[in-house]
Amino acid sequence: MIIDNPFDRIQSSEFSDNPEPRCAVVLVLDVSSSMSGQPISELNQGLLAFEQSIKQDPLARLRVDVSIITFGLNVDQLLLESSPTEAGIPRYAAFVNADDFKAPVLSANGTTPLYPALTKAMDALQARKQEYRTGNPPVDYYRPWLIVITDGLPNPDPTRSSVVQSVKSAIAKREFTLLAIGVDNADMSTLAELADHPKPVKLRGLAFKEMFSWLSNSLKAVSRSNLSTTGLQLSKPDWTIDV
């Protein structure tokens, strides 16, 4: 499901039921036509592997919050299924706790509007952090993660320069950590414009399962760390190739 303004759907009991500090993760996923066939199938399998892995860690399943933004025919923040009400009625939210996360099944269509997707992702993170600060009760949070996965050349966009500068400025201010991942024929020079630490990486083939397994393990390490920890050493990815 998709909604235009998902930020009004947070349940009032969300933080009182689980006051653990949070690490927000936004997955910005390319679902353009070039991802049709095996690529989108492997991406869906990777999301399922991520769901299964992150739920195996008792702290990560409470502390990691997940949101998904897709870009292809449209740029959408998905409305993800969350835990049902006591009456068994399904609930949906823009961010769901890893304990509730259910991997959606994505389909591929359209072009590659990367820059509007990045803008929506940054807005989503800002809104989520505001919810952490003003929740009942407020909750502490780790530096969020923004994960971009794309396989193509972005659409020409007059906002490109300003979006790139906004991303770089946010990273410099430690507002989030960005990991840019290129798939197949992705324009790695474009991804390199966004950030140089960590540098963009190229996925080995369609190793989405391995990538999402690494992401899950990395988030488990973050969720077990102290909030004041800086420079956390994560395992070296084994799902990349040199470019």
pLDDT 10s digits, 149-188: 999 899 999 999 999 999 999 999 999 999 999 999 899 9
Per-residue pLDDT at 232? 62
Domain boundaries, the chain: 21-225+236-241
What CATH architecture is 21-225+236-241?
Answer: 3-Layer(aba) Sandwich (3.40)
Q: Is the pTM of this model over 0.95?
A: no
CA distance 100 to 54: 11
Residue 10: count other Cβ atoms within 10 Å of its Cβ. 17
Mean confidence (pLDDT) of the chain: 91
In single-letter form, the type of residue at position 159 comes to: T
Q: Please, what's the b/e burial string for 136-167 (b: 16 or more CB within 10 A of its CB; e: otherwise)? A: eeebebbbbbbbbbbbbbbeeeeebeebbeeb
Look at residue 197 and tell me whether its pLDDT is greater than 90. Answer: no
d(CA 75, CA 117): 6
Residue 201 CB neighbour total at 10 angstroms: 19
User: What is residue 70's DSSP assignment?
Assistant: E
User: Which region, left, alpha or beta, applies to residue 20 given φ > 0 means left and ψ of -120 to 50 means alpha?
Assistant: beta
State the Cα–Cα distance between residues 239 and 233, nearest whole angstrom. 17
Segments in the chain forming alpha helices (H): 14-17, 38-54, 60-63, 114-134, 160-172, 188-194, 208-224
CA gyration radius, the chain: 17
pLDDT for residue 2? 42
| Residue 10: pLDDT over 70 | no
Which pLDDT tens digit goes with each residue over 36-67? 999 999 999 999 999 999 999 999 999 999 99
Which residues, in sequence order, are CB contacts of 56 under 8 Å at separation 6+?
A: none
Residue 25 near residue 65 (C-beta atoms within 8 A): yes
Region of 9 (left: φ > 0; alpha: ψ -120 to 50; beta: rest) is: alpha
